[in-house]
Amino acid sequence: MALKIRLARGGSKKRPYYQIVVADARSPRDGRFLEKLGSWNPMLAKDDANRIVINGERVKHWLDNGAQPTDRVLRFLNEAGLAKRDARNNPEKAKPGKKALERVAEKKQKAEEAAAAAAGE
């Protein structure tokens, strides 16, 4: 059975509250879980102590037993010093797409034609 340490959403509409849980990877996001390991309240200020609450001892137990944290939970565990998250770097992400490059080239060509027409008169 593949286990995940992930978030289960609670709270009302537009007021999210998440529980950090261990669940079978096949179960639904807010469905059955094995154990609650903590909580995350994104409505609180970032420097609030109760924003992220984690039971480190139980998290270590589940990590040792093969549970895989999701990316968001891994960020929390990295901040708490319970797991290591490698920094990601995708230099291709910031580059403009093919259409954007075509638009830039077309705009440059029109500017050159307008400059040549102005200089020719």
Summarised one tens digit per residue, pLDDT across range 41-61 is 999 999 999 999 999 999 999
pTM: 0.71
Distance CA 96, CA 99 (A): 8
Does residue 7 carry a pLDDT above 80? Answer: yes
For residue 20, give the nearest of 1, 41, 2 by alpha carbon.
41
Which CATH class for the 3-80 domain?
alpha beta
82-105 pLDDT, tens digit per residue, is 888 888 888 888 888 999 999 999
CB distance 39 to 17 below 8 Å: yes
Q: List the domain boundaries for the chain.
A: 3-80
Distance CA 77, CA 56 (A): 9
3-state secondary structure of 9: strand
Determine the pLDDT at residue 118: 85
Q: Which DSSP state fits 1?
A: -
Determine the pLDDT at residue 86: 85
24 beta partners: 3
